[in-house]
Amino acid sequence: MRIPFIAGNWKMFKTVHEAVLFVKELRGLVKDVSGIEVVIAPPFTALHAVAEAARSTNVGVAAQNVYWEREGAFTGEVSAVMAKEAGAEYAIVGHSERRRLFGESDAIVNRKTLAAIAAGLTPIVCVGETLEERERNQTFEVLDRQIKNGLDRLTAEQVAELILAYEPVWAIGTGRNATAAQAGEAHAHIRKRLRQWVGGDAADHCHVIYGGSVKPDNIGALVAEPDVDGALVGGASLDVKSFMSIVTKSRPAAV
């Protein structure tokens, strides 16, 4: 059974001091929370400090990005091995901002995904269409391409263990989120494709989460959709009370 997965992506926000204070407060709030995975993705400068603050707690830590080479003359890049050593357990790969602002292709996403797995990190692989693509009714076509190319050469077992984040680009940082029905439809399509391409067991085990202007007031409707397994939260994860509200509202009723 898939338990809800909630990740807070801080993007380029929070100093080391601010990040550690946040995690110290969050770990107290979630220490008795079960039945849900809670993850924070700080900027690289705070990755090690956040990992130390989260050590032996039920707060996981993710890198916001990784490079596909283990080492080399790649100024400004951080390898998956380095992120793992700094304390990361997960790595966000192919976020829409990386694709749009830094030109990352599906092939690059694939290389980074493979590198993350090789380093012992769980990839959070992002997919999603632009507004123009949605208006042209190309959503499923875009998702098929990004999933097929982005997960190329992965085994069914590897797909089962990763997290796919559906983030419609038109809803990232715009305040405009997909409706629960729109998210549910996209997630159901993703799950169907995974069943076709990697088998039912892997498809049923793989988490598919939603990202795109997630807030406390819409998370309940989103996770009520049967194929929405949680959320990749942006701006609303910067405030600990807001983020905790999302975590609380994402927990199964029986927990």
Mind listing the domains of the chain with CATH numbers? 5-250 (3.20.20.70)
pLDDT, tens digit (0-9, with 9 covering 90-100), for 226-249: 999 999 999 999 999 999 999 999
> Distance of CA 12 to CAs 9, 45, 119, 123, 203, Å?
9, 10, 24, 20, 32
- pLDDT value for 170: 82
> Mean of the pLDDT values across residues 85-114?
97
pLDDT, tens digit (0-9, with 9 covering 90-100), for 44-79: 999 999 999 999 999 999 999 999 999 999 999 999
- pLDDT value for 131: 87
- pLDDT value for 255: 44
Q: Are the beta carbons of 13 and 41 closer than 8 angstroms?
A: no
- pLDDT value for 173: 66
- pLDDT value for 206: 98
pLDDT, tens digit (0-9, with 9 covering 90-100), for 207-221: 999 998 899 999 999
pLDDT, tens digit (0-9, with 9 covering 90-100), for 4-14: 999 999 999 99
pLDDT at 186 over 50: yes
- pLDDT value for 51: 98
DSSP class per residue in 1-66: -PPPEEEEE--S---HHHHHHHHHHHHHHHTT--SSEEEEE--HHHHHHHHHHHTTSSEEEEES--
Question: Which residues belong to the active site?
Answer: 95, 167
pLDDT at 86 over 50: yes
